Structure 1
Amino acid sequence: CEEDALQAILNDQISEGDVIVIRYEGPKGGPGMREMLAPTSAVMGKGLGEKVALITDGRFSGGTHGFVVGHITPEAFSGGPLAIIEDGDEILIDTENNKLELLIDDSAIAQRLSNWKQPTPRYKKGVLAKYAKLVHSASEGAITG
């Protein structure tokens, strides 16, 4: 989540060449696509803006700097690939071909997906719980209709 990533950045646990993965921040998992301004600001503040990438199913503000990829779908809360990334996995980010790829073999992906369990929703009642149940993917506009 955003808070864990921020602490890792602030505690100097991120190194040049790393890809920071912030998951469960999409329309359903957030819910509501929280903005990743704090982690991206911390990356820049640590002088890592051109040395690391940050990918998320959340969103960014207009003030975001650095190598970032957001609105990733399907989001982690719905079982998208972000949900199964583990520390040490290699991730290919090819901006020229619009490609983001987890570089592990298909059998490992299948195994991880079969072991994955959807986390407990952050909200069990109220308007945010209802929103999380009804909202569509970010690629469909995160609409509830």
Structure 2
Amino acid sequence: MASKTLPKLPVIDLSLREDLRPGTRTWESMCKVVCNALEEYGCFVIKCNQVSLNLHSEIYSAVQDLFNLPSEIKQQKPAHRGDWPIGRSYSYGPKHERIDTENLTTLEGAQNFTKLMWPSGNDQFWYVFT
């Protein structure tokens, strides 16, 4: 019986990238690496020593809570780019699930998204992302 070799996810190391600013050569190079990983695998792993294990765990837990919501709730999120709707913001398939978000790094954006997904509240979710 032949063993099936699973592909390894690409690991993108941002730990030593002090010059990672938009417009720099490093930024442009990293954008190409990220795009290639998304096109080839649909995802990637980021290695970044500046993120504590505690923060990593909190973010992972918050994202699990989000994806554990019923599909009907996740489908409420309108898809936007700027001020214009661009189509579905939630999709799923046999090997993926996607929820588009925007402005999660602002307090107002994170709170608005949280209110939509958890009308009765989930302070832990928006707190992690701001």
**Shorter-chain TM-score category?**
under 0.3
Which has the larger helix fraction? 2
**Structure index of larger Rg:** 2
Which structure has the higher relative contact order (CA within 8 Å, separation 6+)?
Answer: 1
